[in-house]
Amino acid sequence: MVASIAVLFLLLLNVTVYSQAQEENYATTSWALGIVIPEDSSLTGGGKLKWESVRNVTVFIDLPNMSQPDNIVYAVLSVMTNDSSVLQVAAGIFPNESSWLVYAWIFTDLSSTPVKFEWILNGSRPEMSPSAHVSISIFLSSSGSWNLLVLDLDTGASMQQTFPSGVAPSLKIGDQEVFAFESYSRSAATFEEMGNLTLSALLFDGKNLSSGFYQYDSGWNPKHNPLFVIGTVGTIPPPFISLQNESNNSIAWSYSNSWVSNELIYPGWVGTIVVVALLSGSMIAVAVVIKITRKLRR
């Protein structure tokens, strides 16, 4: 019995340490919930998406009604080129800030640890208000270089910038996580008044995506194998964020009031359930041993 109690103590200690490590890890890692677009997805007008021929990817979005979050929040557009470079442009908001700004990166080696990347823009104008109507584009210029353009449709303010030269002038065939809602925050209070992050249009060379995409998150999905994943792989999005197709063919990310019923998704709760199950099973086993011992003594 002493041995059983010692084993239970070690199990409890191990899960407690695991949960604490997860809590600390969540402070420095991001989760993401996005949409992935495979080759041959359907476009309006009856066409099919051919990644290698795409020269302009543009999203039209309504930013969420968020300001002064407790941690970073991004609405991010991404594409992978044929040399496996990932180009990213985001509208983002940082802690204690009231306006959304422009951020951009290029990732040149996804296989390295840490991943190699370069800042293109880090908190640049235009300053966009919560709920602003915004377009974000990544496009190939006539000179063969990739460019970004962010336009605040409410004010007309914009930012255009060129990515470094030498990047392949065509996009890679495969499943690409083109747009995602990404954050380092897991606080429900940060998101509960957000309304929606709405993606009203996703255009490839001016043609809107009509079908073929699928939802993907930074946790893990064995059914799909995208070329790259937004957010820290293995970091499960909080259960209070949902993604759904709207009746007007837009896609919306929103805060869900029913998230409490799904709290068991949270890794810390999983650890507690495992401990309770192990504890219950071990206590039953100990009780059976004691009962058998008493019978033998009789």
Please tell me the predicted confidence (pLDDT) of residue 282: 40
What amino acid occupies position 278? L
Alpha-carbon gap, residue 203 to 15, rounded angstroms: 46
The string of DSSP codes covering 19-33 is HHHHHHHHTT--EEE
Alpha-carbon gap, residue 263 to 266, rounded angstroms: 6
Please tell me the predicted confidence (pLDDT) of residue 257: 77
Please tell me the predicted confidence (pLDDT) of residue 223: 84
Please tell me the predicted confidence (pLDDT) of residue 109: 85
Please tell me the predicted confidence (pLDDT) of residue 249: 84
Alpha-carbon gap, residue 32 to 241, rounded angstroms: 10
Question: What are the structure tokens assigned to 39, written together?
Answer: 């080759």
Please tell me the predicted confidence (pLDDT) of residue 253: 97
Please tell me the predicted confidence (pLDDT) of residue 49: 98
Q: How buried is 225 (Cβ within 10 angstroms: 0-12 exposed, 13-18 middle, 19+ buried)?
A: exposed
Please tell me the predicted confidence (pLDDT) of residue 5: 45
**CA dist list (Å): 79 to 57, 165, 265, 295:** 8, 16, 30, 70
Please tell me the predicted confidence (pLDDT) of residue 20: 39
Give pLDDT < 70 ranges for the chain: 1-27, 258-298
**Which helix (H) or strand (E) covers residue 153, if one does?**
none
Alpha-carbon gap, residue 169 to 142, rounded angstroms: 10
Please tell me the predicted confidence (pLDDT) of residue 258: 64
